[in-house]
Amino acid sequence: MIQAEKILIKPIVSEKATLAAASHNQYAFKVHPEANAIAVAQAVEHAFKDKKVEVVKVNIINVKPKFKRSRTQRGKMSRKPGYKKALVTLKPGQTIDLI
Amino acid sequence: MNLTTEHLSDTRKKITVAISAEETAQEYQGILKEFVKQAKVPGFRPGKIPTNIVERKYSKELSEELTRKCLTKAYNHVVTDSGFEVYTVVDAEEPEVVKGVEVSFEVTVDVNPEFELPEYKEIPVTLVPVEVTDQDVDDMIDEIRKQRAEFNVVETPAKATDYVKVSYEGFIDGQSISEICPDKKVWAKQENTWEEAAPEESRRMGVPAVMDGILGMKAEDSKEVEMTFAEDHEVEALRGKTATYKITVHEVRERVLPELNEDFLKSLQIESVEQLKDRIFQDLEGRKKNEQAGDKRRQILAFLNDAVQIPVPETAVEAQTQALVQRTMMDYMRRGVAQAEMESRIEELTEKSHKAAEEQVKLDVILTRIAKKESVEVTDQDMQRAIMMEAMQTRTKPEEIVKRLQKDRRNIYQLQRNLLVDKTLEFLSEQAKVTETEKEG
């Protein structure tokens, strides 16, 4: 079992995430690699409990690590680690501030 | 933007600028738009960042920019639309501007006073007509001969305008003058100095008694002469005192003027006496014409100065005074005046400069006004000519001067201003009503 406060690592602020928040009331987080949808839902409700938000749905996406071949150092590969991303849908009308 | 004016004096106004809430909000939106275009936030393509994120990230910069922009706009507004000719901004409050909130602040400015221009066309000037006589030319030739004179050592007594190597020391009631005023050696004691015996009035630059006293003395002669200092003598300690000078002559050199012959002409690179006379005539005429033009300008300035009585912006006078004092100080420094003495004179100097500065600023104001009315303008050609002139005078390349000017825009403004004043004066000179006086003497 993971500690609740370790589940949400950080909110994701990007063009795509802002768009999702605006159109579907979905908020993106980078989460602990071993967290599951239920744990994330509970963690979000806990973290923003002063706003009393209700999570409708959590989609989990495993973002694959990205590799890049160096053009100068004999084709050495560099690796950008992957992570687990959770898209949390809130009940319509409820919002959270990510920044 | 709302302006309310409070009159502090004729040349100083306190202007309260009020910027309404809508205006600040509008300004803020404009700035935000600019920021969105420029901002870089990871996770977003440039220009695609939502405004709320930009606002959050750059809140400090945004508010600074808003304040800066609103204040500059307000100053410009004051300068252009307050109805005064603003000379400088003396003091300005710098409040923080918040979007959608009304702000008001005070700006104190010095303005050019309002005044009626006097009738500046046909300013009466009286000039001495330019006239070069044969006498002038002959005098000039004599002068040249004197400058090129040879000095031969003679054993005879010194005649007038001979040069004499002499040592002298002055005493007042048995006390050496060098104790009374140690820093003025000319009046106290000199060893082996060259003096002209009984020179003409214009070349008197030493102790008169000594210069007259050595007349008729031979080498190795000694003599004592007495002299009473004038009541307005430059050294205060000596005024009205009677001094005795002990003079010892070491050497007498006779002034031998060169003959007006071919050798002499050759040394001047001139072929004949007529040509020499002709050239001197032209020289003198040119010089006199210059003098006349200068005189004309002086008279015009004096006329304007008298005709207009206006208070002038204090800051301008201050700045001008500072500039004048600085120039004099530089001059002193070049001449090697001691630091302590300069500092002791600075106050006196400031006071003296203040009046001159006031006059200059006043004339500046008047001439600029005339320039505006007569649409006298400084063209690029004028600038170029001025730069070329400057280059010739300082013996530098014009490009260097241009570079120097470009370094600081204020220099360019300064030059433009000077040229404008110059051109206006030229204009007034042409318009002036000239009465020629009879030649003096």
Domain ranges for chain A, please list them. Answer: 4-90
| Coil, helix or strand at residue A68 | strand
* pLDDT for A11: 92
Query: Which CATH fold topology does B2-111 show?
Result: Alpha-Beta Plaits (3.30.70)
Q: Given a cut of 80, is residue A62 above it in pLDDT? A: yes
Residue type, B330: M
Residue A95 touches partner B, C-beta closer than 8 Å: no
- Could you tell me which CATH number the domain at B150-256 has? 3.10.50.40
Q: Provide the pLDDT for residue B198.
A: 67
CA-CA distance, B186 to B228, in Å (whole number)? 15
Tell me which of B358 and B26 has the higher pLDDT: B26
Segments in chain A forming alpha helices (H): 15-24, 37-47
pLDDT at B402: 79
pLDDT at residue A37 is higher than 60 = yes
Q: How confident is the model at residue B439 (pLDDT cuts 50, 70, 90)?
A: low
Q: Which CATH superfamily is domain A4-90 in?
A: RRM (RNA recognition motif) domain (3.30.70.330)
**Residue limits of CATH 3.10.50.40 in chain B:** 150-256
pLDDT classification of A17: cutoffs 50, 70, 90 = very high
Q: Residue B65 pLDDT > 50, yes or no?
A: yes
Look at B53 and A99 and tell me if their CB atoms are within 8 Å.
yes
In the DSSP assignment, the letter for residue A66 is E
Q: Which residues, including other chains, have CB under 8 Å from residue B414's CB and lie 6 or more apart? A: none
Which of A14, A29, A85 would best serve as a mutation to test chain B binding (most B beta carbons within 10 A)? A14
Is the pLDDT at B205 greater than 60, yes or no? Answer: yes
Higher-confidence residue of B91 and B392: namely B392
Q: What is the pLDDT of residue B353?
A: 79
CB contact under 8 A, A15 and B48: yes
The per-residue pLDDT for B396 is: 80
**B50–A12 CB contact, under 8 Å:** no
Q: Grade residue B336 by pLDDT with cuts at 50, 70 and 90.
A: confident
Report how far residue B63's alpha carbon sits from residue B97's, in angstroms, rounded to the nearest whole number.
7
What's the farthest any 2 CA atoms get from each other in chain A? 54
Is A14 in Cβ contact with B53 (below 8 Å)? no
Q: Structure pTM?
A: 0.52
The per-residue pLDDT for B202 is 58
Q: What rounded mean pLDDT belongs to chain B?
A: 77
Q: Which of A40-44, B14-18, B112-116, B277-281 has the lowest mean pLDDT?
A: B112-116
Q: Where in chain B is the domain with CATH 3.30.70.1050?
A: 2-111
Higher-confidence position of B253 and A72: A72
Label residue A31 by pLDDT band (50, 70, 90).
Answer: very high
The whole-number pLDDT of residue B127 equals 73
- For residue B39, the chain A residues in CB contact (below 8 A) are none
B196 vs A79, more confident: A79
Nearest CA of chain B to the CA of A99: how many Å? Answer: 8
Query: Is the pLDDT reported for residue B218 higher than 90?
Result: no
Binary contact (A14, B43; C-beta < 8 A): yes
Burial class of residue B255 (count of CB atoms within 10 Å of its CB; 0-12, 13-18, 19+): middle
CB–CB contact A99 B45 (8 Å) = no
- Flag whether residue A23 sits within 8 Å of chain B, measured between CB atoms: no
CB B155 within 8 A of CB B218: yes
Mean pLDDT of B93-104: 79
Is the ipTM higher than 0.85? The answer is no
Chain B residue closest in CA terms to A98: B53
